[in-house]
Structure 1
């Protein structure tokens, strides 16, 4: 199906003007040549046959086609050369910073930098945030050290700017990293004006753009109307790929009211639409604002979503005006499945992200 889609996209894609001119020019020359009266000689059933496959056109019309075709070809070549040098200058003046978070899977044989689409203009510069040595069998063994590496993202980006304005730098982001670190990356990069997100396709084992059709699904939001008056701490459970288990949440936050955002159809490949992700992010932000307006001071966030979705939610979280937020790590098989969280660097200027472990949980 994806092959058919790509062929259809190639057939219907918009061609640049120079290609149209070249095509029209060669068509004119071919037509002039066909109508010039050339003949074909062959032998059919032992008889010598001589015929002209095309009717001969008037000489003046043939010359007009030659002039028009030659002019179109020359114009196409000149425009193409001009476009080449313009694109080259534009490419050299812009930078594409490719940020890859590595944590849950080794993607060194298929680095993200090689998957950034050619439509994103600029010199590719790869920046990797690797915390795989702090993860064993899917369990984060040293969240504090991993946090230090992710928190350094703004400092790591600065040298790549090299005096460039926001319009001269594009960030391409992708990763396979635990939820709290992915959300944190989104919070830290929310001020970047141009971001292209990719995600890892586990089926094809390759990086993929968010260019699928929108299936129309939106979050079903429940629990927000039931927040008791005067509540200062609320749990928010976001279920995109899988269902966040309320029983697991209750072991970490036994007395907090729960607001749920659930997709009606949850599965690992329901996130490949850019339009859909934008809609989900808008719903998420609107829900956070409603919670803040109710007087809540702290949000405990439990997420089951794909990397690009988690990153987007981190980007849209308004770190200047929304409440304090802690994002929890899920570790299946533990007595307490969400043993620690990262408190995001929001509200206070200069505040750093902090790992918060639950009391009595190792």
Structure 2
């Protein structure tokens, strides 16, 4: 109940402080002036003898009874004409706009969901779907032939996305991501979406069992990452575990990455619904990047990332990771029921790995 009231107060404050459009400000000002003055109250007298027209008012106050209401009418007309012209311009612009929805069909169905109607509430334009469908290669959440899935189903996103971006004028294409895929694929998709402008993220709401937009309408709770060193070490390779929605399996991490230093980032409030504020996601992704920059100063050259987070957070972290200037990074898949808990990973896009790449953990530790 308290969270609901806080959200209502947040939306109310945002409504009062939001930027108003100038046409409607003029229109509102004109209506207010006419309301206060009661409109025109002058008399028009035609003089046929002198071929003239004179105006007067019963009270004799020409300014308050004539000029001020006239100003109100001018403001109303100006605001109305401006708003109509703006609506026509927006209509023409929206007719050119395309909204590219990248749908990750894996752990949850997207294509048959309510996602399109959700997007229409936020964006205008023609919807274009880019689907990444790996459902045929999932068995109870376990990815079968992950290297082949990445190469044939996920990596083509780069070429498909650029085809749409290159064929449209700058600013005429908006991007949306919705879907639940393995975390390594999601982080890599975030890499691809870096520098592509604003990206709207959708995630699965477990409470309502529907897709929901991660937006700035949700207040940031201010929670920050806490950091702990699980295993000491000074190697050029390091494991970074991030606990966002659940706690990372630290025991198996130490088992799968023996001898490596392990740093753990975790939130005080670990839950599956703590990610709906886009402001919070952006803030925490930058906190993660600051840690990586610190590790780089300590001469760390490769990071093995274990990310336990919702889909939208995983994409956002990938968007913020500048692999061309930061250390090489591999994001790993978690297979809880497998003896090999972190069997494979995906390289983040970087110099020399312009399209990322698949790698087994055993190979990564040997190289």
2:265 is paired with a residue of what secondary structure? strand
Higher deviation after alignment, 341-350 or 254-263: 341-350
1:343/1:356 contact within 8 Å kept: no
- Correspondence for 1:209: 214
Tell whether 2:360 aligns with 1:356.
yes
2:268 is paired with a residue of what secondary structure? coil
The RMSD of aligned alpha carbons is 3.2
C-alpha distance in 2 between matches for 1:351 and 1:22: 52
Over 3 Å counting, the alpha-carbon distance change for 1:62 and 1:273 in structure 2 is: same
Equivalent position to 1:336, from 316, 335, 340? 340
Report deviation, 1:239.
0.8
- Correspondence for 1:74: 77
1:334 is paired with a residue of what secondary structure? coil
1:74 is paired with a residue of what secondary structure? helix
C-alpha distance in 1 between matches for 2:181 and 2:105: 6
C-alpha distance in 1 between matches for 2:306 and 2:135: 22
Report deviation, 1:142.
2.9
1:214/1:276 contact within 8 Å kept: yes
1:116 is paired with a residue of what secondary structure? helix
2:344/2:358 contact within 8 Å kept: no
- Correspondence for 1:285: 289
Cα deviations by residue, 1:148-206 (Å, 9 ceiling, x for unpaired): 21111111112212443544433222321111110111122223233233322221223
Over 3 Å counting, the alpha-carbon distance change for 1:296 and 1:4 in structure 2 is: closer
Report deviation, 1:114.
3.0
Over 3 Å counting, the alpha-carbon distance change for 1:193 and 1:21 in structure 2 is: closer
Report deviation, 1:84.
0.8
Where does structure 1 lack aligned partners over 5 or more consecutive residues?
A: 37-56
Tell whether 2:270 aligns with 1:251.
no
1:100/1:112 contact within 8 Å kept: no
- Correspondence for 2:141: 138
Over 3 Å counting, the alpha-carbon distance change for 1:316 and 1:82 in structure 2 is: same
Cα deviations by residue, 1:185-230 (Å, 9 ceiling, x for unpaired): 11222232332333222212232223221222211223399432xx
Over 3 Å counting, the alpha-carbon distance change for 1:296 and 1:33 in structure 2 is: closer
How many residues matched? Answer: 337
Tell whether 2:221 aligns with 1:218.
no
C-alpha distance in 1 between matches for 2:31 and 2:260: 73
- Correspondence for 1:261: 265
- Correspondence for 1:316: 320
Alignment of 1:83-98 (within 5 A): 83-98=86-101
C-alpha distance in 2 between matches for 1:24 and 1:235: 60
Alignment of 1:1-362 (within 5 A): 1=4, 13-23=18-28, 67=70, 70-116=73-119, 120=123, 122-148=125-151, 149-204=153-208, 205-211=210-216, 212-223=218-229, 226-228=232-234, 231-350=235-354, 352-356=356-360, 358=362
C-alpha distance in 1 between matches for 2:107 and 2:190: 17
Over 3 Å counting, the alpha-carbon distance change for 1:351 and 1:3 in structure 2 is: closer
1:276 is paired with a residue of what secondary structure? helix
Over 3 Å counting, the alpha-carbon distance change for 1:77 and 1:313 in structure 2 is: same
1:169/1:194 contact within 8 Å kept: no
Report deviation, 1:4.
7.0
2:102 is paired with a residue of what secondary structure? strand
Where does structure 2 lack aligned partners over 5 or more consecutive residues?
A: 42-57
1:99 is paired with a residue of what secondary structure? strand
Report deviation, 1:311.
0.9
TM score, norm. by length of structure 1: 0.80
C-alpha distance in 2 between matches for 1:292 and 1:68: 63
1:98/1:112 contact within 8 Å kept: no
Over 3 Å counting, the alpha-carbon distance change for 1:279 and 1:132 in structure 2 is: same
1:295 is paired with a residue of what secondary structure? coil
C-alpha distance in 2 between matches for 1:30 and 1:346: 63
